[in-house]
Amino acid sequence: MEQQMQHGPPYIPPGAPIGGLPSGKVDTPISAVFLVIYLLGGLTHTFIYSHNRTSLKTRFGPSRFIILFCIIRIVTMSLRIAQTKDALSISLFITARVFTTAGVLL
């Protein structure tokens, strides 16, 4: 199967993304550690939120944002690991940049 060269947009931006271009030797272990940290944080806050909602009949709004932030960061770290394997994929590059920016804006 031949890989087709794309002659039209979208193009990979000439500058490095936030955090630089990922390399497998450095970024994969670090991203995996952060992936586990955000996974544990998201699960912990989901448990706390559901416990407060059922037992105390109260909803703590900021906890929802923390859960959403952890989910976005889990996706971001997964995409960063995927980028180390296929650094020239334009769609992967754009998706990783969108999720990185979404976590910053949240």
Rounded distance, CA 50 to CA 57, Å? 10
Rounded distance, CA 84 to CA 54, Å? 42
The predicted-structure confidence for 8-63, as pLDDT tens digits, reads as follows 677 767 766 677 778 888 889 999 999 999 999 999 999 999 998 888 888 788 88
Contact 49, 83 (CB under 8 A): no
- Quote the pTM value: 0.78
Ramachandran region of residue 19, left (φ > 0), alpha (ψ -120 to 50) or beta? left
Q: Of 95, 86, 98, nearest to 28 (Cα)?
A: 86
> Of 4-8, 37-41, 99-103, where does mean pLDDT reach its minimum?
4-8
Q: What pLDDT shows up at residue 73?
A: 93
Residue 16 gets which letter from DSSP? -
